[in-house]
Amino acid sequence: MLNIDGKVVIGDKALKQKNCIDLANEWYKKYKLPFVFALFCCNKKNQKYKKLINEFLKTKQKVPYSIIKKEAQKIGISPKEAKEYLDKIIYYKIGWREKKALKLFWKKANS
């Protein structure tokens, strides 16, 4: 359709890409909203999952530095970059801005 060659790269491989377009960054520049990559969904009546999610959100997720260092080395980035990614880029709460972004994405995906 656009006569452009490309591929989508996610996960560890994406962290070490230099010549690429960051979809989350492009989304933010265009709509001034965060890009939601994943969402945990379950039946509202299932209290077991609700409790699990609430406990997860209350607890700061910590990754030991030794693991950060080892995994960063595997994918070719510095431990500082990996820690910054984990501490500042990834977050888990879905607020009003994330909900608005999801609605907009859904609308665009279905148009």
- Contacts with 4 (C-beta within 8 Å, 6 or more apart), sequence order: none
Segment 42-48 mean pLDDT? 84
What is residue 50's predicted lDDT score, i.e. its pLDDT? 85
What is residue 2's predicted lDDT score, i.e. its pLDDT? 62
CB 36 within 8 A of CB 100: no
Instruction: Report which of residues 73 and 5 the model is more confident about.
Output: 73
Looking at beta carbons, which pairs linking 101-107 to residues 24 or more positions away fall under 8 Å?
101/27, 101/31, 101/33, 101/34, 101/35, 101/36, 102/36, 102/39, 104/31, 104/33, 105/35, 105/36
| pLDDT at 104 > cutoff 90 | yes
What is the C-alpha to C-alpha distance for residues 71 and 82, in angstroms, rounded to an integer? 8
- Helix-helix angle 23-31:96-109, to 10 degrees: 100
CB 97 within 8 A of CB 105: no
